[in-house]
Amino acid sequence: MIKATLIEGDGIGPEIMQATLLVLERLDVKIEWDRQEAGMDALERCGDSLPEPVLDSIRSTRLALKAPLTTPVEGNFRSANIRLRELFSLYANVRPAKTLLPDGRFNNIDLILVRENTEGLYVGVEHFIPIDGDPHAVAEASGIITRSGCKRIAKFAFEYALSHGRHKVTIVHKANVLRALTGLFLETAMAVGAQYTDRLQIEERIVDNCAMQLVLNPDQFDMILTTNMFGDILSDEMAGLIGGLGLAAGGNIGNDAAIFEAVHGSAPDIAGQGIANPCALMLSAAMLLDYIGEQAPATRMRKAIQDTLHSDTRTPDLGGTARTLDFARAVAERISST
Ligand code: NAI
Ligand code: MG
C-alpha cells in the first residue's frame, strides 16, 4: 500500500473529490488515503487554512491529491496553494492540455505546460506605501528569480520532454521588458537547453505573442516552459483550448514530494449545486497514478473519462445536463465493464 494525503478542499472541492474517489474505488490501486482538512473550514475552526496535521501528513506521505482551496481577496491571506508549493519545494507545475471532446474548437490538442512554481512575481514580496493619508497610494512588488531556480525547472522540463516523447520546448518570457527578472529565466533556460539541442527543438517566444499564437494556431506548440505568473495565465488559456477549466489537470512536483490538483479553483459561483465537472480532478488523480508507476489503471481511468464524454454524458460547463455524481457513476460503470 502507498500512503497518500487527501485534501477535499472547499467550494466545489468536496463534490469533485467525492466523484473522483467513486471512480478510484473501481480501480484496483493500492493507495491508502490519509484524509486531512484544509481550506476555509480549517481557517474558521483553527485560524489556519493549512493546519499542522495536514502538513505533518504530507511530510510523511510526500504525496497528495488535493481539491481546490479558496483564497479570499479580502484580508491578508497568503494562498494556501502557494504555501504548499513553497513548503515542499514543488518547483515544477506540470499542466497538460489534451483534447478529450470530439466537437471542440480545435481537434487533437496535445500540449504540456511546465510552470516554475516557487519564484517570480508570486513570491509575495509586496507592500503599500502611504502618502498624504492614503494608505494605498502606491503598491510595490518584487519578483524574485534565481539562476539555480531557473536551472532546476529548465532541466526538469527538458528531461520531462525526453522521457515523454515530446519533440519541442518553447521557452516563454518577457525579457524585452522585464529584462532582469525574465531575462535571467530566458538566459538560463537557453543555456541549459543547449545540452539538449541534439534531441529536442528549443525555441523562445515573448509571452503576449505566445498567448495570441496559442489561440490562432496551437499546433505549432508542443511543450511550453515558463515562469510562475505567465504559467498560471497561459495554463488557463490552454484549458480554454480543450473545452474549459473543467478538463484541465495538473501536478506540483518536487524532488521528493508531489501534490496533484486541478488547474481550476474552488468555483464559488457553482459550489454546492452538484453540477461541477469532476474531470479535472479525476485526470489529476490519473497523473498521480502515473507518478507512482501505476500506468495501467491511469490509462483505464483516462479512457473511461474520454468514452463517457464521447457518449454525451457531460456536465453543464460542457453543454450537458449530467450532474457531478451522474458523470462519476457513468465513468465508474465504464471502468467496471472493461
Ligand atoms: P475558478 O477556477 O474557481 O473558476 C473560474 C470559472 O470556471 C468559474 O466560472 C467556475 O464556475 C468555472 N469552473 C472552474 N472549475 C470548474 C469545474 N470543475 N466545473 C465547472 N466549472 C468550473 O477561479 P476563480 O473563480 O477565479 O477562483 C475561485 C477561488 O479559487 C479563489 O479563491 C481562488 O483563489 C481559488 N483558486 C484556487 C486554486 C487551487 O486550489 N489550486 C487555483 C485557482 C484559484
Ligand atoms: Mg491559476
What are the grid coordinates assigned to 239, written together?
Answer: 484549458
Q: What is the mean pLDDT of each successive set of 10 residues along the chain, which is 338 residues long?
A: 96 98 94 95 90 97 97 83 95 97 90 98 95 98 97 98 98 97 98 98 98 97 98 97 96 97 97 98 98 96 97 95 98 93
Do residues 248 and 238 share a domain? no
Whole-number pLDDT of residue 105: 87
- 242, 274, 291: which is the final residue of a domain? 242
Do residues 254 and 234 share a domain? no
Does the beta carbon of 71 sit less than 6 angstroms from any atom of ligand 1?
Answer: yes
- Ligand 1: distance of its center to the CA of 212 in Å? 23
Do residues 212 and 113 share a domain? yes
Do residues 291 and 281 share a domain? yes
* 2 DSSP assignment: E
Does the beta carbon of 120 sit less than 6 angstroms from any atom of ligand 1?
Answer: no
Count of the separate structural domains present in the chain: 2
Q: From the alpha carbon of 70, which atom of ligand 1 is closest?
A: 32
- Ligand 2: distance of its center to the CA of 320 in Å? 25
Do residues 3 and 40 share a domain? yes
Nearest CA to ligand 1 atom 38: 265
Do residues 222 and 283 share a domain? no
**Which-ligand-closest: CA of 232?**
2
Whole-number pLDDT of residue 230: 98
Q: From the alpha carbon of 67, which atom of ligand 1 is closest?
A: 40
Whole-number pLDDT of residue 211: 98
Whole-number pLDDT of residue 102: 85
Neighbours of 82 (CB within 10 A): 16
**pTM for the structure as a whole:** 0.96
- Ligand 1: distance of its center to the CA of 39 in Å? 14
Do residues 217 and 297 share a domain? no
3-state SS assignment for residue 145: coil
Nearest CA to ligand 1 atom 31: 70
Domain coverage including residue 123: 105-242
Do residues 53 and 87 share a domain? yes
Whole-number pLDDT of residue 196: 98
Whole-number pLDDT of residue 15: 98
Do residues 121 and 73 share a domain? no
- CATH number, domain with residue 222: 3.40.718.10
CB 217 within 8 A of CB 177: no
Do residues 206 and 248 share a domain? no
- 242, 262, 288: which is the final residue of a domain? 242
Tell me the C-alpha distance between 55 and 62, whole Å: 10
Active site amino acids: 122, 174, 208, 232, 236
Whole-number pLDDT of residue 268: 97
**Site to substitute for ligand 1 among 264, 279, 318, 326, most atoms within 8 A of C-beta:** 264
- 217, 242, 267: which is the final residue of a domain? 242
- Ligand 1: distance of its center to the CA of 4 in Å? 24
What residues contact residue 267 under an 8 Å CB cut-off, 6+ apart? 11, 12, 68, 276
Nearest CA to ligand 1 atom 30: 265
Q: From the alpha carbon of 12, which atom of ligand 1 is closest?
A: 18
* 104 DSSP assignment: S
Does the beta carbon of 36 sit less than 6 angstroms from any atom of ligand 1?
Answer: no
Do residues 237 and 255 share a domain? no
Where b means 16+ CB within 10 Å and e means fewer, 131-161 reads eeeeeeeeeeeebebeeebbebbbbbbbebb
Do residues 260 and 149 share a domain? no
Whole-number pLDDT of residue 228: 97
Does the beta carbon of 67 sit less than 6 angstroms from any atom of ligand 1?
Answer: no
